[in-house]
Structure 1
């Protein structure tokens, strides 16, 4: 649904050049929720504004729903009628809502429809329909100053849906909201994704946002995408920094002769206690040192750090048991003499384990 190829954006500021995007490639599939993560200055906002051509890239291409937007703008970069039509099919939700205080909630939602030239009766019907969709039908005649932050963002979402977009862009839509309101807005976005078949591209600096609703994610740093993929793919990738940030595990590793393993539930394991099965079937004492697991739809995803008695060579059958159930197993090197612990980023060999 969204493809960026070798995207570059260079700003000229006070006689010098600043590269905001440096050869970015991005591929967002139809119907998925895709998160872009990164710290301030990573290039996230520039990227999302290039997707709808609010910022014209210096080079590279942007294609949305099969239409190359970078080929639609005129030589001067100004929007022409073809680009404006394409933009009308891309909704945008902003961090600070950007509502007009002089207009009622319904009139704010009607604004893009007014710009599209729809008659007043049709605008009103559509606006009421959208406000009902986001749970604000009773606030149609209210003004933005009378709303909470979460309600304002729901109005912003309703307005973004006015043109029946195929793609919804979200620019830090929840960063100005409290945790409970954030959860309700994320649930609304997920519901809209499923009900309307919307493709959603969102930028955020919050890992919980990605964990809660995203199907795929990318990490940006210094204007580049340094890691990307579906959440299961990222969890399955050895050494994935995003996986470690999404599901951090901690646990003290004592100076004792044992095998310490990081186990990743990357495919969404059926909701059953693998640890209990391992302990029972292999008659082994399993100690859970730390875990970051979530369950959705009866399936688990995340990471767990466990300790098994004795050396890795003695635990080959246990490691094999975990692998047979679709888990990725990484080892930690534990030296009993002086309790030196170092991370082994490679998968544990099936018959060797961590040393």
Structure 2
């Protein structure tokens, strides 16, 4: 159901207004005379109305980053700006949140991995909790909680207790609670990692629907590439406390050598023998529906082996990657590879072993295109 006072989500463009910005964000933990750097100069820009995914392995710094965005963790240095407010300036020197920071946090919803529901409270009372803290009257709290439970599909569970709910239902309660303060920003900390695949899909669909219906900006962290593939407009890859790659999903898929693109659409396959050229081809947009490989085979009268392929829908667009093998060495295939690039495809030569060889291959292809 629509929520009053909200608007439909605007279409995104590359010049969208940043709603979440971190600049030079650093977090150093000190324990027993040792220092551990969890965040190392992180710059992040999340545009208004988008779903932005931060992905990486355990220990990459993802959870620390998202907790620094709402200052549940105080950064060691750097700044965090959310909806035009510098939260690091509001925080002051003490460890306890002051009134100004608490007010700013009320406009940032947070969804946790393990739900964090109070077992002694009903579902409705759990959703009402942040409204109690904000001093909202009992009647208004009840009305708003029921409205939010309806929004997440749990209108009939208001009087139930958390122990009576499935994992997916508990997470829906957590999402409803996160929306109680009418936030502009929703933070999701591994919110689907404790759920089975079918429930995960339903929660991701709900998050995307809320993003569109309420105009929410969603920042989520995950170690699951399927989450990024399913709902994210943009993404960042973290390693060792740093953002090593970021951009819109479409940009990343079109970037040569993108680690995120390779993770989103992993394709494997080894050459069938020596003297062969292995090429990774990324299809997106209209090119994804064109018979480009068969055209290449007919045009140059060559036999092409498909070593691996993956096709899916990302951000509403069909995208795919394919690993193919061409007969002959790379130098003999400059023209066929150039043909693929002329069709609007992203082409990476997969069997080039070193950075020097990769640069040489790119130079040859550019010369061949001129």
Matches within 5 A, 1:24-173: 24-173=42-191
- Report the equivalent of 2:252: 234
TM score, norm. by length of structure 2: 0.86
Q: Contact 2:231 / 2:314 at 8 angstroms: preserved in 1? A: no
Q: Contact 2:337 / 2:347 at 8 angstroms: preserved in 1? A: yes
- Report the equivalent of 1:214: 232
- Local SS of the residue matching 1:7: strand
Q: State the distance in 2 between where 1:79 and 1:31 align.
A: 27
Q: State the distance in 2 between where 1:351 and 1:76 align.
A: 57
> What is the CA RMSD across the aligned residues, in angstroms?
2.3
Give the direction of change, closer, same or farther, for the CA distance of 1:322–1:160 in structure 2 (3 Å limit).
same
Q: For residues 71-109 of structure 1, what are the alpha-carbon distances to aligned partners after superposition, in whole Å with 9 as ceiling and x for unaligned?
A: 111222432221111101100000000001111111111
Instruction: Identify the match of residue 21 of structure 1 among 39, 42, 49.
Output: 39
- Local SS of the residue matching 2:322: strand
Instruction: Identify the match of residue 186 of structure 1 among 193, 201, 204.
Output: 204
| Larger mean Cα displacement after TM superposition, 253-262 or 199-208 | 253-262
1:350 matched to 2:365? The reply is: yes
Matches within 5 A, 1:276-355: 276-280=294-298, 282-295=300-313, 299-312=317-330, 315-333=333-351, 345=358, 348=362, 349-350=364-365
| Larger mean Cα displacement after TM superposition, 143-152 or 26-35 | 26-35
| Larger mean Cα displacement after TM superposition, 306-315 or 64-73 | 306-315
- Local SS of the residue matching 1:123: helix
- Report the equivalent of 2:283: 265
- Local SS of the residue matching 1:350: helix
Q: State the distance in 2 between where 1:27 and 1:299 align.
A: 23
Q: For residues 177-226 of structure 1, what are the alpha-carbon distances to aligned partners after superposition, in whole Å with 9 as ceiling and x for unaligned?
A: 11111111111111111111111111111111111111211122222222
Q: What are the ranges of 5 or more consecutive residues in structure 2 without an aligned counterpart?
A: 1-18
Q: State the distance in 1 between where 2:314 and 2:38 align.
A: 37
Give the direction of change, closer, same or farther, for the CA distance of 1:70–1:269 in structure 2 (3 Å limit).
farther
The size of the alignment, in residue pairs, is 347
Give the direction of change, closer, same or farther, for the CA distance of 1:41–1:155 in structure 2 (3 Å limit).
same
Instruction: Identify the match of residue 253 of structure 1 among 261, 271, 293.
Output: 271
Q: Contact 1:294 / 1:301 at 8 angstroms: preserved in 2? A: yes
Per-residue deviation at 1:238?
Answer: 2.1
| Larger mean Cα displacement after TM superposition, 139-148 or 71-80 | 71-80
Give the direction of change, closer, same or farther, for the CA distance of 1:195–1:284 in structure 2 (3 Å limit).
farther
Q: State the distance in 1 between where 2:43 and 2:219 align.
A: 14
TM score, norm. by length of structure 1: 0.90
Q: For residues 243-288 of structure 1, what are the alpha-carbon distances to aligned partners after superposition, in whole Å with 9 as ceiling and x for unaligned?
A: 2222111123111554321112255745333323434555543321
Per-residue deviation at 1:297?
Answer: 7.7
| Larger mean Cα displacement after TM superposition, 304-313 or 74-83 | 304-313
Give the direction of change, closer, same or farther, for the CA distance of 1:50–1:297 in structure 2 (3 Å limit).
closer
Per-residue deviation at 1:53?
Answer: 0.8
Q: State the distance in 1 between where 2:43 and 2:354 align.
A: 34
Give the direction of change, closer, same or farther, for the CA distance of 1:105–1:217 in structure 2 (3 Å limit).
same
Q: What are the ranges of 5 or more consecutive residues in structure 1 without an aligned counterpart?
A: 335-340
Q: State the distance in 2 between where 1:327 and 1:20 align.
A: 38
Q: Contact 2:230 / 2:315 at 8 angstroms: preserved in 1? A: no
- Local SS of the residue matching 1:186: helix
Between structures 1 and 2, the one with greater helix share: 2
Give the direction of change, closer, same or farther, for the CA distance of 1:129–1:206 in structure 2 (3 Å limit).
same
Q: State the distance in 2 between where 1:155 and 1:85 align.
A: 22
